[in-house]
Structure 1
């Protein structure tokens, strides 16, 4: 048995999922994880490793279907690929059986709910950001350099004595940051 666990943000903990997988019979060293990656993103290193580790006759175990995929097409694609390779899929304590019409329907319903839940999360996030933006609380990413540093960087660049890479090194920022600072409008005083 090979286990897979995932959490979407760096603030979440995988301990509960790992414990659930171990209770389902997965050895601790056979659990692959992704931390801080959304299920909507199909490209996940831990998932790729878990899928590469399973062989014909093995079982891929996930605590819940939404840990594996957040869309019906992804869930179907992963499940179909596993079945084609002779690998069983275990969702919690239940083995997915694509030959059983009820099992297939239940899988599709779970996948639909996982997708719906992901859509709700995105909707709530967008609504929350719109409210914060309207209140002036969400202003986007702040510049790496203070106004005073930006002014000095522009002055130094204007002398023609400093290359972009020199300015990046002097101000401990990347070259793209120097270019953004130079391209940014100077605030009217």
Structure 2
């Protein structure tokens, strides 16, 4: 008996899975057969929901995803997943279109879609780098705000110079981590 196992993923914790769940349900996937990853990118292969979905499928089943980029964002990762599905005798269903990896046409179509998904991910990264460079050039990208204000920094350096407190104690006094204290002290001596 063929089962439909669904997989949905969003990259950030702010994103919502409702549309993907609804789309999977409209493709015939039972709600209890949908596995999800929330806040994980498609470039990260270590995704618990994907692992559960791949463990759930058996020979003759279909793994259903709304779009290929929800499953993988690189060609090697997509191929690894398809090889695993092929070994199990599972067909991939992308938004209602099935791609049988044992069929030459299905394999070709899947490879083309994988290349498009990877290309799209590369474009997003390039646009992000470009946008950050423009913002930095305009002075809008200043980096992370310092944990300590200028007066706090001055007091931290004074107390550290006195040598009466450990770095951990200084961290407690100022409400920051020992690592932050170390960075401030290092910054002082390298300037």
Select which of 116, 135, 138 maps to 2:138: 135
Q: Which runs of 5+ in 2 are unaligned?
A: none
Match of 2:10 in 1: 7
- Determine the C-alpha separation between the residues in 2 that align with 1:158 and 1:36: 43
How many pairs were matched up? Answer: 188
1:157 matched to 2:169: no
Q: CA deviation at 1:101?
A: 1.6
Match of 1:116 in 2: 119
Q: CA deviation at 1:186?
A: 7.6
Match of 1:59 in 2: 62
- Determine the C-alpha separation between the residues in 2 that align with 1:48 and 1:155: 53
Q: Closer, same or farther in 2 for the Cα pair 1:138/1:163, shift >3 Å? A: same
The 4+ residue runs of structure 1 with deviation greater than 6 A are none
Q: TM-score, length-normalised on structure 2? A: 0.90
1:75 matched to 2:78: yes
Q: Closer, same or farther in 2 for the Cα pair 1:161/1:72, shift >3 Å? A: same
Contact 2:67 2:94 in 1 (8 A): yes
Match of 1:91 in 2: 94
- Determine the C-alpha separation between the residues in 1 that align with 2:149 and 2:61: 56
- Determine the C-alpha separation between the residues in 1 that align with 2:141 and 2:58: 48
Q: Which runs of 5+ in 1 are unaligned?
A: none
1:67-97 deviation digits (Å, cap 9, x = unpaired): 0001111111101111102233211112221
1:9-66 deviation digits (Å, cap 9, x = unpaired): 2332211111111111222232222222221222222222222333334322111111
SS of 2:92's equivalent? Answer: strand
Contact 2:10 2:16 in 1 (8 A): yes
- Determine the C-alpha separation between the residues in 2 that align with 1:147 and 1:179: 16
Match of 1:43 in 2: 46
Q: CA RMSD in A?
A: 1.9
